[in-house]
Amino acid sequence: MKETVIQFGEGNFLRGFFDYFLHRMNTEKLYDGRAVIVQPRAGGKVQGLSEQGCKYNLYLRGIEKGETRCEHTLVESVSRCVDPYKDFEAFISLADNPDFRFIVSNTTEAGIAFDESCSLEDKPCLSFPGKVTQLLYRRYKNNMEGFVLLPCELIDNNGTKLKECVLRYAALWGLEEGFTQWVENENQFLNTLVDRIVTGYPTDETAALHPEDKYLDTAEIFHLWVIEGDFENELPLRKCGFNVIWTGDVKPYKKIKVRILNGAHTSLVAGALLSGIETVGEAMEDEAAFGFLNKAMNEEILPVIGDNEECRAFAESVFDRFRNPYIHHKWESISLNSISKFSVRVLPTVLEYKEKYGCFPKCLSLSLAFLIYYYKNGNPQDSQSAIEFIRNNSIEKILANKALWQRDISSMTRLIEEYYEKISEIGSKEAMKWVL
């Protein structure tokens, strides 16, 4: 089988996401190609993965349309691994193989960053975009066609930002104009949005099933890959049955994900913590918490962002994901930097609801009161300046602080004061029931 994909990143996510997709397309005779994994940082996992033949077991586990599913696959879509820090020539010579068509990456949110200390002569560049530029320049010098790049890092406009870094390196290193034109015209840097919780090596009895597999991986059933472009004819992901959307614009899908999935987490986190609910799964079994979230989703979030078939299906999948018995997602970990998250994930829905209906939504407004109450009385994980400001100021001054919310929302003062007093009076769980 030919090697057709260069993959930067050997971590749990890509092995539970793209490499699984590639394996399935191969086994169903829809594709004929394997990936070569390039270790993006020194001291990674590729040596250990190579020692077990680049094969590993993957378990997909969760709830789909109300039913619990568990699927096991021995993933065999990775042909070999390359550590550019130990064998630079093995890395750079990947550019010489005309069969390579795609570059896929997941190097964490901080991976797509420009480091001006990188040089073309480095073996290799420390930064991920620097390595990509080295690879592309070798490809260009070979007079070969370019690549389709599919970055999976969780940042906005990931493809565009990777391309910008490559072009900055070309300028910094004084590379010829022909290379810049080749990057622009012969390569496709596609913006993408990925969504799947990959839980990695299991902590339950699943590990005992494969004691020899140090790279055993687990993930939820749900997955989504939105890609700004269309290469389905070369990479038949949809034909293989995957939830992949080829589109001209990722942004509407980003909005749906942020407002529904992330918004659901952020709107409930403070209320759940104040109620002594430890995990997301426990919240779905709690009458008050589930009722609160259900009403917020169906009567406040969906009517604002679009109560259509696509949004409703995604919302239903979110509830299935929250119920997943294999994922113990703690509210405490979700609560990190909740103020900035609320300003992006929930507050726009609150304000758009007010504009559309003439009043503020009850549940999402209560979630703001919960958040302030938690910061004043709980153990928030945020910047010390944000915590101290909230603890030492009135609700009106808190809501008027543009640095916290990216806008002045003091028009909500009277309502939030009322909800805050209600939480103090009857407790958070009863407040959830009260607002219903």
Q: Is the pTM here over 0.85, yes or no?
A: yes
Q: Is the dihedral of CA 146, 147, 151, 156 positive or negative?
A: positive
Let me know whether 146 and 264 are in one domain.
no
Let me know whether 287 and 418 are in one domain.
yes
CA torsion 119-121-123-124 (nearest 10°) is 30
User: Which of 205, 228, 247 is a domain's end point?
Assistant: 247
Let me know whether 259 and 226 are in one domain.
no
pLDDT of residue 64: 87
Let me know whether 43 and 191 are in one domain.
yes
**In this structure, are residues 259 and 305 in contact, taking their beta carbons and an 8 Å threshold?**
yes
User: Which of 217, 247, 277 is a domain's end point?
Assistant: 247
Does residue 124 have a cis peptide bond before it, meaning omega lies within 30 degrees of 0?
yes
Q: In the predicted model, is pLDDT for residue 110 greater than 90?
A: no
pLDDT of residue 284: 97
**In this structure, are residues 194 and 17 in contact, taking their beta carbons and an 8 Å threshold?**
yes
* Residue 200 pLDDT class (50, 70, 90 cuts): very high
pLDDT of residue 351: 98
Q: What's 186's domain CATH number?
A: 3.40.50.720
Q: In the predicted model, is pLDDT for residue 122 greater than 90?
A: yes
* Residue 43 pLDDT class (50, 70, 90 cuts): confident
* Residue 185 pLDDT class (50, 70, 90 cuts): very high
Tell me how far the alpha carbon of residue 201 is from its chain's centroid.
Answer: 19
**In this structure, are residues 5 and 34 in contact, taking their beta carbons and an 8 Å threshold?**
yes
Burial class from Cβ neighbours inside 10 Å (0-12, 13-18, 19+) for residue 65 reads: exposed
**Amino acid found at 109:** E
Number of folded domains that form the chain: 2
Q: In the predicted model, is pLDDT for residue 342 greater than 90?
A: yes
Let me know whether 113 and 228 are in one domain.
yes
Let me know whether 356 and 256 are in one domain.
yes
* Residue 109 pLDDT class (50, 70, 90 cuts): confident
Let me know whether 181 and 32 are in one domain.
yes
Let me know whether 243 and 255 are in one domain.
no
Let me know whether 178 and 323 are in one domain.
no
Report pLDDT digits (tens) over 131-157.
Answer: 999 999 999 999 999 999 999 999 999
Let me know whether 216 and 259 are in one domain.
no
DSSP, residue by residue, 107-121: --TTSS---TT--TT
User: Which of 230, 247, 264 is a domain's end point?
Assistant: 247
pLDDT of residue 407: 97
Which residues span the domain enclosing 106?
3-247
* Residue 44 pLDDT class (50, 70, 90 cuts): confident
